[in-house]
């Protein structure tokens, strides 16, 4: 019996919600219908206004046409300028500075939102990503698995070393030394 009462309550609630939604839909449709009629009236009056007799000077129409042509030409020029490819090589920016030799290793990094993001050490001999090994004697070793080159960092963990590298990169960016490093890496690649 109690299950039937619960079921009847649900039916009543669903019926009330349906009536409220239908009422809002009816109000909304009347409002939208009014907007459409008003918009159509504006369109009709504008159309009739185009054919009406007007007492204005013809030079105003020529001025309006001139302004329209100038604006269209300006828009075309902006579109062409935006799609034009630069001629010749572009000047490098600090965003192009993504690799350098720091603390005896080659480091590579990315930029995210203008910040230096996750510098990683690479072997200066074979360009392999180096592996960070924590030793028990308060030293940490970066090892190349390919050529077995090792670099020992005294007392630094990976994150601390990466932060030192970030600070050095930041210093080189501020001092303008990144340009020389960028020239050196492009000469090495060539």
Q: Which residue has better confidence, 73 or 5?
A: 73
2 pLDDT higher than 60: no
Same domain, 43 and 13: yes
pLDDT band at 5 (very low <50, low <70, confident <90, very high): low
| pLDDT tens digit sequence for 22-50 | 877 777 777 778 888 888 888 888 777 77
Q: Is residue 89 domain-resident? A: no
pLDDT value at residue 70: 96
Q: What are phi and psi of 113, to 5 degrees?
A: 55, 40
List the domain range (segments joined by +) for residue 159. 94-189
112 lies in the same domain as 176: yes
Give the residue among 109, 146, 141, 108 at the shortest CA–CA distance from 125: 146
* Pair 7, 71 in one domain: no
66 and 106 share one domain: no
Report the distance separating Cα 77 and Cα 69, nearest Å.
12
* pTM to 2 decimal places: 0.52
């Amino acid at each position: 019996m109690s299950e039937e009462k619960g079921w009847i309550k649900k039916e009543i609630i669903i019926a009330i919600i349906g009536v409220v939604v239908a009422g809002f839909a009816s109000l909304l449709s009347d409002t939208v219908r009014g907007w459409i009629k008003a918009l159509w009236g504006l369109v009709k009056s504008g159309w009739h206004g185009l054919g009406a007799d007007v007492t204005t000077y013809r030079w105003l129409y020529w001025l309006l046409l001139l302004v329209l042509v100038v604006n269209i030409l300006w828009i075309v020029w902006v579109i062409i300028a935006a799609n034009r490819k630069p001629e010749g090589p572009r000047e490098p920016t600090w965003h192009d500075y993504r690799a350098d030799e720091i603390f005896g290793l080659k480091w590579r990094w990315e930029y995210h939102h203008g910040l230096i993001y996750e510098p990683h050490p690479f072997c200066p001999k074979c360009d392999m990503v180096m592996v960070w090994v924590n030793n028990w004697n308060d030293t940490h070793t970066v090892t190349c698995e390919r050529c077995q080159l090792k670099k020992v960092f005294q007392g630094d963990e990976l994150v601390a070393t990466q932060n030192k590298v970030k600070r050095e990169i930041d210093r080189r960016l501020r001092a303008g030394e990144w340009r020389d490093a960028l020239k050196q890496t492009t000469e090495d690649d060539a």
